[in-house]
Amino acid sequence: GLGVGIVGLPNVGKSTTFNALTKAQNAESANYPFCTIEPNKAVVPVPDARLDELAKIVNPERIQHSTVDFVDIAGLVKGASAGEGLGNQFLSNIREVEVILHMVRCFEDENITHVENSINPLRDIEIIESELIFADVQQLDKKLDRLKRQAKLEKGAQALAEVATELRAHLDEIKPVSTFAKKDDENFQALDKELRFLSNKTIIYGANVDEAGLLEENEHVKALKAHAKVVGADVVVLCAKVEEEMVALEEEEAEEFLKELGIEESGLKQIIRLAFEKLGLASYFTAGIKEVRAWTIVKGWKAPKAASVIHNDFEKGFIRAEVIGYDDFIAYKGEAGSKEAGKMRLEGKEYVVQDGDVMHFRFNV
Ligand code: GDP
C-alpha cells in the first residue's frame, strides 16, 4: 500500500508525467529484475546523490537506488463518485495508495482542450477533491448503517458510531477528512484504518506548466501555491513535456539542459524525493565492492526489521549491526578509516535505523 497515485482532470498532463516516470524506471530496469512491469505502475528510482559519493570511495560494479511506486489513476472525472466515467473502480485504486500526486494544469494551450474550457487550477482542484469527499461519504454512510445496528448490542460500536456521525457532518460541508477536528481520536483512527478515506491522504500538487512557466512563475502557479499554503500541501512545479524528453538524456546532457532553463533540479526528481519522504520512507546503505545500494525502510524501523529487507533470514537470525553514519563514512573515506577513527558502532535489536546509516549485519543462519 505504500505508493503514490497520480490523479487529475483529463488533459492536465497525467499520462505525460506517468510516461516520464516509466521511462525513468526502464532506464534502470536492468538493475531491478525483480520488478514486474505493470502497465499502470512505475517503480521509480529515488534520486540520491549520497550513493554517488559512496561509490566514489568503494568503486562498486553497480549502484542501486531505493524506489517509489507510482500508480496512474486515470479516469477520475467529475461525477466519478456517482459512477460517471470509470467511476468507483478508480476511486478504489486511490484507496490503495498513501500519497496522492494531484496533477494540475497550469499551462495555456488552445490546441489542448480543457474539460471545463478554461484554465483554473483552484476550480479543477475543487472538482477532483469533491469527488474524493463524495466517495468517502458513500463509504461512511454504509459503515454508519452497520454501526447503528451493532450499537444496540456492543458498546464499542456506539463510540465508533458517534465519531462517524460527527465526521459525516464535517463531510456534509464538503470538507475533506484531512481537516476533521478529531483526527487524534482512536475511534476515528480505527475508522480511517478500515475505510482508508480518500480525502485524508497526503497530497502533493504537481503544477504542470509550459516552458515559459519554468522560467517565471505564472498566475496559475501563484494561485495554486496560495491554496496549497492554506491546506498545508506541497507544490512542485514541472513541465511534464520537458520531463518526458529529459529522462531520455544522459545525466550530463540533462544537467546542461536544466542549466539553460535556469533550473536547479528537475521537477520530476523533486516529486520522487518528496513522495518518498511523504510516504514516511528512509534509506540505509550497504557499501560493498559488488554494489553500493540503498535499501528502503519505513522510518522508525529497528535493525532486525530493516535487515529483513535484504533477506528474511536476516531478521530471524539477527545478532547485531555494524553501523557507520553516512557523514563519517565519507569523512573517513570508507569502512576501514571509519573503524580506525572509532566511528563504527555496534548496535543491537533495539536500534532504530537512521536514514543514511551504512550498515553491515551479523546474523545466525
Ligand atoms: P492526461 O489526460 O492528464 O493524461 O494528459 P496528457 O498527459 O495526455 O496531456 C494532454 C495533452 O497535453 C497532451 O497533448 C500533452 O502533450 C500535452 N501536455 C502535457 N504536458 C504539457 C505541458 O507541460 N505543456 C504543454 N504545452 N502541453 C502539455
Gap from CA of 114 to ligand 1 centroid (Å): 10
The helix (run of H) or strand (run of E) holding residue 291 is: strand 291-298
* Residue 339 DSSP label: H
Q: If pLDDT is split at 50, 70 and 90, which confidence band does 129 have?
A: very high
Nearest 5°: the CA angle 164, 166, 171 is 90
The tens digit of pLDDT for each residue in 207-258 reads 999 999 998 999 999 999 999 999 999 999 999 999 999 988 888 898 898 8
pLDDT at 17 over 90: yes
Q: What is the pLDDT of residue 163?
A: 96
Mean pLDDT calculated for residue range 343-353: 97
| CA–CA–CA angle 336, 341, 342 (5° rounding) | 100
Contact 11, 119 (CB under 8 A): no
Supply the pLDDT for residue 363.
Answer: 87
Supply 236's cell numbers. 512542485
Residue 32 has pLDDT above 80, yes or no: no
Confidence of residue 40 (pLDDT cuts 50, 70, 90): confident
What DSSP designation does 263 have? -
Question: Is the minimum distance from the CB of 239 to ligand 1 under 6 angstroms?
Answer: yes
What count of other Cβ atoms lies within 10 Å of the Cβ of residue 54? 24
Best residue among 14, 15, 16 to mutate for probing ligand 1, ranked by most atoms within 8 Å of CB: 16
Helix (H, G, I), strand (E, B) or coil at 198: helix
Over its C-alpha atoms, the chain yields an Rg (Å, rounded) of 23
Looking up cell 517565471 gives 216
Tell me, what's the pLDDT at 306?
97
Number of Cβ within 10 Å of residue 253's Cβ equals 11
Q: Read off the pLDDT band of 355 (50, 70, 90).
A: very high
pLDDT at position 328 is 98
Cβ of residue 75 lying under 6 Å from some atom of ligand 1: no
What spacing in Å lies between the alpha carbon of 7 and ligand 1's midpoint? 14
Q: Are 315 and 301 in contact (CB under 8 A)?
A: no
pLDDT in the model for residue 74: 72
The DSSP symbol for 352 reads B
Q: Which residues are within 8 A (CB) of 42 and not within 5 positions of it... i.e. 6 or more apart?
A: 18, 21, 22, 24, 25, 69, 70, 72
Cell numbers of 229, please?
A: 499554503
pLDDT of 297-311, one tens digit each? 999 999 999 999 999
Question: For the residues of 299-330, what is the DSSP string, one character each?
Answer: TT-BHHHHHHTT-HHHHHTEEEEEEE-HHHHH
In whole angstroms, give the CA distance from residue 52 to residue 64. Answer: 10
pLDDT at position 249 is 87
Quick one: pLDDT band at residue 313, thresholds 50, 70, 90? confident
14 lines ligand 1 (CB under 6 A): yes
Could you tell me the pTM of the whole model? 0.90
3-state secondary structure at position 98: coil
Residue the block writes with cell 458513500: 138
To which residue does cell 458510531 refer? Answer: 161
Instruction: List the grid coordinates of 54.
Output: 559512496
> What single DSSP character describes residue 80?
G
CA 249, CA 266: separation in Å to the nearest integer? 13
Q: What cell numbers appear for 174 in the block?
A: 464538503
Say yes or no: CB of residue 241 within 6 Å of ligand 1: yes
Q: What does the alpha-carbon distance between residue 350 and residue 199 come to, in Å, rounded to a whole number?
A: 35
User: Is 70 exceeded by the pLDDT of residue 362?
Assistant: yes
Q: Is pLDDT at 262 greater than 90 in this prediction?
A: no
Ligand 1 site, residue 25, Cβ cutoff 6 A? no
- Here the contacts of 307-311 (C-beta below 8 Å, separation 24 or greater) are 307/359, 307/361, 307/363, 310/286, 310/361
C-alpha cell read off for 82: 456517482
What residue spans define the domains of the chain? 3-119+201-278, 132-198, 300-363
pLDDT of residue 51: 97
85 φ/ψ angles, rounded to the nearest 5 degrees: 55, -135
Over pLDDT 90: what percentage of the chain? 70
300-363: CATH superfamily: Beta-grasp domain (3.10.20.30)
Out of 69-73, 168-172, 178-182, 250-254, which region has the weakest mean confidence (pLDDT)? 250-254
SS3 label, residue 152: coil
3-119+201-278: what fold? Rossmann fold (3.40.50)
Buried b (16+ CB within 10 A) or exposed e, 139-159: bbeebbeebeeebeeeeebeb
What atom in ligand 1 is closest to the CA of residue 16? 7
State residue 122's pLDDT score: 96
Kindly give the number of the ligand 1 atom that is closest to the alpha carbon of 213: 23
First to last CA, the chain: 30
| Minimal-distance CA residue to ligand 1 atom 14 | 112
Q: Has residue 84 got a pLDDT over 70?
A: no
Evaluate whether 46 touches 294 at the Cβ level (below 8 Å).
Answer: yes
Q: Does domain 132-198 have CATH number 1.10.357?
A: no
Q: Name the least confident of 21-35, 43-57, 324-338.
A: 21-35
pLDDT at 125 > cutoff 60: yes
Atom 9 (ligand 1) nearest CA: 13
* Mean residue pLDDT across the chain: 91
pLDDT of residue 21: 93
Range name among 24-28, 53-57, 302-306 with the lowest pLDDT average: 24-28
Q: What average pLDDT score do residues 195-211 get?
A: 95
Report the number of secondary-structure helices (H) and strands (E) in the chain. 15, 12
